[in-house]
Structure formats: C-alpha cells, structure tokens
Structure 1
Amino acid sequence: MKKIFIVLFLNLACLQGASLLSPVLEIGVNGTTKDMVLYGNSLLIGTDNGVLQVYDYESRVFTKTITLPEVQDFMGDMIAPRVYSIDQIEGRYLLLSDSGKGGYANLWVHENNVTTQLFSSVDKKAAIKARFINKDQILLGYLSNEAALFDIKSKEEVYRIQLSESKFSDFALNEAKTQAVYSCESGVLNIIDTATGKVIKVLKGLNLDNVYKVDFKQGIVSAAGQDRRASVYDALTGKGEYIEASFLIYATGLSPSTKRVAFAMDEKNNISIYIRSTKVKIAELQGQKSTLNNIIFKDENTLFSSSDDETVMMWRLK
C-alpha cells in the first residue's frame, strides 16, 4: 500500500509541474492517417483511403492531393489502397502503398502531375516504409527487418541487408540522410550508413520488446517501446536512459535541438513532453482520440500528431 501511495504521489507531482494543453488546430483528412511528414511549410499526410494530401499549415489549406488507383483485395473487390509511407524532395513525391496481393507493396513517384509506378506486387517486395535519401534513391524498410536502397533510374536495389530475424517496426533518418536507425520487435536498434547499408552502431539494453517508433536528430535517438519504456540513446556512445510509462508507447518525436522529447505515455493517447537532459515533464497534450502513430516537431514549441483516425492535430507549447 505504501509503495502504491509513493507512485501516485510522484505521478501527481509530475503533473503539477506540467502544463495541460489542448490542440491549437485540428485538421480533417481524407481517411485514417497512416504516415505523416513535415516538408518546409507543408504537412504531407498519407491515408488508408489511397491518397497523399499536402496541407499548408501557415495558410491552413490543402494545396495538393494525389490519389492512387484502386487495388483488388482477396475477395475480388476493388478498394482504395492503404498508403503506408510518403515523402517529398525537390518537387517529387513518394508513395508506398498496399498492392492488395500477398502483403506486397506498390511504390510510386509523382512529379509534374504524373504518377509513375516503380514496383508492384509482381516484384514481391514486402516493404512497409520508404523515404527519399536523395532525388534518385529511396531507403526501404522490409517487414522481414531488411534495409534496402532502391535506385529510381535503374529500378534496382543498390543493396539489401538483413538486420536481424526480428520483425521490422520503423526507421528514422538523421538530418543529413546519411544514417538511419531501424527498430524491430526485439528492442534492439541498428544504425546504418544509408549509402552502403553497413551497420555502424547497435543500440540495445533499454528496450526489451518491440520498439514501435523511433526518431533521430543531432546524434540522439528516441524510442517508443511496447515494454512501456520511453528510451533515449546517444548514438555515438550507445548509452542512454529511459522513462517508465503507464501504458504501451506507440509514438515519439524529438525537437530540432533535441532539448525536448515527446512520447505517447498513457492509455488516453495523451502526449507527454519532457526536457530530455533532466527527464522533467513540462507539458501534457490532451485531445488525441485514437492510438497515436506520428509525432513531429516543427520547432521547439510547435508540433503535429496523428493517430488511427481522420484528424491531425497541431500543438503549441507556448
């Protein structure tokens, strides 16, 4: 009984020092959000309704919509594909989507109002995440926890490496796109050189189960764990610390300076904001209605979040 009282007291103390905030903007999107990317003044949103929507958060209007063709499901019905992953670089858009066949993916690029398919279910690629490394190369994450670099011009993989036997969960690029951290169901994180695929650092010991999401900025990695551990590593030294949560942690995000880190820490889908160096909680963002899947900082005080529903939220810490 005494132990329970102490835990409750500490949780209350944390909340008393934290600001309770509501979203400053709610953005209705066309379908359930599956992926979200910040590019300049635009928010790219991929949904399970077969679309990529581009939203200008300053003027607060949608500026572009890319719609993919329907696919045939296992029942023979034509349905909108789920857009698993999206990105943008120099006027070129990237869409990785469900093919409707055997768990394999379709990969598309859209440029000058033309959508071109790079691979389909025929190629049997079970990729579930994709990001541009440069305008002509795409980093892929396979369900089998393989990392691959795909060349757009040749439509061939430059490399494909097996990181482990565990199921892939997520990857995140550093700012220069020279390195990427991959997470999986084992809790072990692998940092690779994106040009060669070589593993240059293994981060382990903090998470003991599936790491749903990762972020990677300024040499710092944050990891959202199924084991209710909100972890932060120094990618150079491999050392880190974690904060214990009351629920599975589905999403995380680092501010550009990495002074602040965000985690989804409870069953109510609230987002907790911490000072990374001290682990002091400074804010709790309340209002997300479904399981969180993306948290992105625009700057130190502005961030966006999405969840398994049709609403993207914008928050301000000041």
Structure 2
Amino acid sequence: MLRIFMYVMLACVSLLAIEPYKKVSLDNNLVSSNVVKNKLLVGSDFGEVIEIFFDDEFFKIESKRLMQLPKVKTYFGDSYPRVFFVDVFYDSMLVLSEGDYGGKNLLIIKDGAIENILKNHEALNIKKAAFVNKDSIFIALASNEIMLYSLKDDEFKYKKQISSASFSDFSLNENKDKYVLSCESGIVYYGDVKNGEIITTFEGANKDNVYRALISDNEIIITAGQDRKAGIYKGREYDFIQTDFLVYSVGISKNGKYGAYMKNESSDIAVFSFLDKKEIVVLQGHTNVLNSIFFVSDNKIISTEDGKDILFWKLDK
C-alpha cells in the first residue's frame, strides 16, 4: 500500500515539472540579460552584445551578435570586457561594461558609433544603468547612490544617496517613472525616477541581502533573497515563500498574476499564483545558477543562467 502511495506521489510531482520548449546556447558565458519588446539583449564575459529575437509563440527565435567590444587593460594583460547590462531605446543602445583596470564604461551605441558618455566625469563604480527616455539614463552605484544623467546636457540632474547599505539591484516600472531598488539590508525602496525621491519603503519579507526586486504594472513587488526567501509586497502587506536555497532570481508577469523564483540549488524554477502562492509548475533544465527570469506573457517565460544556456518555456504546451 505504501509503495502504491509513493508511485502516486511521484507521478503527481512529475506532472508539475516540464522541460524547456526551446534552448539557445551561447559560445561564451552570459553575464547579463534584458528583455525589450520581442528582443532578449545579452551581455557576455567575452565583450559580446547579443540580440535574440523571438516571436510571440516562440516559433521563430533568431540569435545574432551585434558587436564585440574592444579589449580593455587589466593587471594581467588585455582581455575582452564583461558586459554588465544592455538596454535599448529606439535606435540607441546603452551598454554598461568593464573598463580598464576594473573600471566601468557606460557606452551609447548609435548608427555604429560608440561613445563613452561619462569620460568627462569622475570614475564611478556603476552597478546598473537603464534608459528612462531618449535623453535620460537612470544610474545606480555600488555605494547605493542613484543618479539621473542627461545625455542632452551632459550632466547629472540629481544624485541621491539611498542608504549606507551596498546596492544590489533596481528595476523601473513599465512607464519608467518609478523605480524599485534593493540592497544588502533587506529593505526595498520605491521612488520617483524624475527627482530620485523615495516615496515609500518596504520591509519584512527579507531579512538579508535582496539580490533582485521587480515590480508589475499593478505595483506588486517580488524579491529574491539571500535568506532563502522569495518576498512578496502587495501595498503595505508582505509575505514570502521559503525555499531550501538562496533565491538568486525571480520573475513577475506584467499583470501581477504570476510569479517565479529559483526553487533550489539545481536552479529549478517554481511558477506560482500571487493569489494564493500555489505552485503551478516547476521548470527544469538549467545546469548553472539562474541569472534572470522574464515573463513574456502569462504562459511564456525566458530564463537565463550564469552559463551559456537560454531557455524558452511554454507553460501550456
């Protein structure tokens, strides 16, 4: 009787787990990834900027290397730089990459021309940068200072110190007028991009470093925590999902109905409903630590790892 029960349980578990619909394998290790419309923008550890186009149903997936950045100087000789983040706004591309001797370069690429836009400013330890519009870039430093840089005026519109805790991540909402920022304290900051002011803070879900913080269109926030928790904030209420391993990455659908998080040390991805935290499906296929999880729609997901594989998932297949 016990044996029959175990077989039934294993069958139920297997029904919850699915394999990737498609896979793209890079030549070099992925460092960063970002989805803009129907394009996945990838930065590698070999100075590459790669664009992966996908249609709405994942029938057509095309990968092409847009560029390879020039080598930079290190204490061990010249090498290709790591590309920490890539963003696009219409015909302009923003690339945050490794500079000489561990510095950072913030590049604008347009019509084939590459410009280091902060070359006239003091060296900054930039951790992340993203377009707000064609003229403005939102920047965060390792010291947890945020800035709004004007391309048109070549100046910072503001500089604001968020806290003394080390910076972890930021995300902009769909309209790019609000930011959510996480750091090693476990506190999540929600603020105004235009002036940098903090509107409110969220805490309670995580007690330690928050690796990632994402926000949906209806302002539900999900966090990835070093304390092995995927945090959830809905208004002033918070909740969390306890896991058995550090949660390095999370994802959230645009409408805030579904979330996803790194479930275990095997980098399985659990997809769940925000309504009741019920686990819907487990995505199995990664062999390295998760880098990012993107909801293209409620039932289509792209996930990337700190390795060479990019996986495309269809939850209704």
TM-score (norm 2): 0.91
In 2, the alpha carbon distance for the partners of 1:81 and 1:238 equals 42
CA RMSD of the aligned region, Å? 1.9
AA of the residue aligned to 2:158: Y
Could you list the per-position Cα deviations for residues 248-268 of structure 1 after superposition, in whole angstroms to 9, with x for gaps in the alignment?
A: 000001012111100002011
1:86 and 1:31 map into 2 onto residues whose CA distance is: 16
Hey, what's the Cα distance between the residues in 1 that align with 2:49 and 2:72?
16
Cα deviation code 1:130-149 (max 9, x no counterpart) = 11000111111111111111
Query: Who is 1:4 aligned against?
Result: none
What secondary structure is seen at the aligned counterpart in 2 of 1:134?
A: coil
1:216-252 CA distance string (max 9 Å, x none): 1121110000001111112xx3321101001000000
Q: Any conservation in 2 of the 1:17–1:281 contact (CA below 8 Å)?
A: no
Q: Secondary structure at the match of 1:135?
A: coil
What residue number does 1:33 align with?
30
Where in structure 2 are there 5+ consecutive unaligned residues? 1-5
Structure 1 counterpart of 2:313: 315
Q: Which residue of 2 aligns with 1:299?
A: 297
In the other structure, the counterpart of 2:215 is 216
Match of 1:24 among 14, 18, 21: 21
Q: Return closer, same or farther for 1:18/1:184 CA change in 2, 3 Å cut-off.
A: farther
Deviation at 1:154, TM superposition (A): 2.6
SS of 1:296's equivalent in the other structure is strand
Letter in 1 for 2:43: G
1:122 deviation in Å?
A: 6.9
Distance 1:30 1:108, change over 3 A: farther
1:184-263 aligned within 5 A: 184-218=183-217, 219-234=219-234, 237-263=235-261
Quick check: 53-62 or 268-277, which moved more?
53-62
Identify the match of residue 285 of structure 2 among 284, 287, 299. 287
**8 A Cα contact 1:105 1:120, kept in partner:** no
Aligned: 1:170 with 2:169:
yes
Distance 2:291 2:29 in 1: 11
* Identical aligned residues as a percent: 30
Query: Which piece of structure 1 moves more, 181-190 or 44-53?
Result: 44-53
Structure 1 unaligned spans of 5+: 1-8
Distance 2:15 2:177 in 1: 36
One-letter amino acid matched to 1:72: K
Superposed displacement of residue 16, structure 1: 3.6
Normalising by structure 1, we get a TM-score of: 0.91
207-216 or 153-162: bigger deviation: 153-162
The CA distance in 2 between the partners of 1:231 and 1:41, in whole Å, is: 28
Q: Which residue of 2 aligns with 1:123?
A: 122
